[in-house]
């Protein structure tokens, strides 16, 4: 009989210990601050990289002019090793991602990579007198413009209306 009483105490002690641990964890959760909101995206200044890219690239590098401050530049890079490639990423006023991609890479390969596998719809849009081809995909949609010696892609999670605003704001030098 003595052995049975010891096992009951052990089980009871284990349950009490678990209760104390859950209680302490709950108190910690309640009183330690935690923020579940999306982190504030840092704005980047892309002017220096743009000037460098415009000097180094074999094509007129495009960047937006006249967009409101609610469009936040978040990433920029120019790579000129295998082929000239320009990237400029933004968060639009609705919090969606929009990127300007330009490259001298073979068009099908470049468009597939830049749009993350989006497919051509066969529709075109006249923006600032130029015919942009629409692409739709699971993750990104895009507008694609084939230029002299390079391809320009405006892509991202944003709506076609926002992609069109970006494409309309682009100026190449």
Retrieve residue 75's tokens: 């990433």
- Confidence grade of residue 74 (pLDDT, cut at 50, 70, 90): very high
CA angle 41–136–150, rounded 5-degree value: 80
Encode pLDDT of 101-111 as tens digits: 999 999 999 99
Encode pLDDT of 19-38 as tens digits: 999 999 988 888 888 776 66
pTM, two decimal places: 0.78
Question: Is the model's pLDDT at 50 over the cut of 70?
Answer: yes
d(C-alpha 80, C-alpha 59), whole Å:
12
3-state secondary structure the chain: CHHHHHHHHHHHHHHHHHHHHHHHHHHHHHHCCCCCCCCCCCCCCCHHHHHHHHHHCCCCCEEECCCCCCCEEEEEEEECCCCCEEEEEEECCCCCEEEEEEECCCHHHHHHHHCCCCEEEEEEEEECCEEEEEEECCCCEEEEEECCCCEEEEEECCCHHHHHHHHHHEEEC
């Amino acid at each position: 009989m003595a052995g049975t009483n010891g096992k009951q105490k052990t089980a009871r002690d284990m349950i009490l210990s678990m209760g104390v641990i859950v209680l302490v964890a709950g108190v910690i959760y309640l009183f330690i601050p935690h923020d579940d909101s999306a982190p504030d995206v840092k704005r980047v200044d892309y002017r220096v990289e743009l000037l460098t890219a415009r000097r180094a690239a074999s094509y007129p590098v495009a960047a937006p002019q006249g967009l409101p401050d609610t469009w936040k530049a978040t990433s920029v890079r120019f790579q000129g090793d295998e082929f000239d490639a320009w990237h400029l990423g933004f968060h639009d006023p609705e919090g969606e991602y929009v990127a300007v991609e330009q490259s001298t890479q073979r068009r099908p390969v470049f468009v597939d990579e830049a749009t993350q596998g989006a497919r051509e719809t066969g529709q075109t849009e006249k923006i600032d007198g130029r015919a942009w081809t629409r692409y739709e995909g699971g993750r990104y949609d895009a507008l694609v413009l084939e230029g002299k010696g390079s391809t320009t892609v405006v892509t991202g999670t944003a709506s076609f209306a926002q992609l069109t605003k970006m494409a309309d704001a682009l100026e190449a030098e």
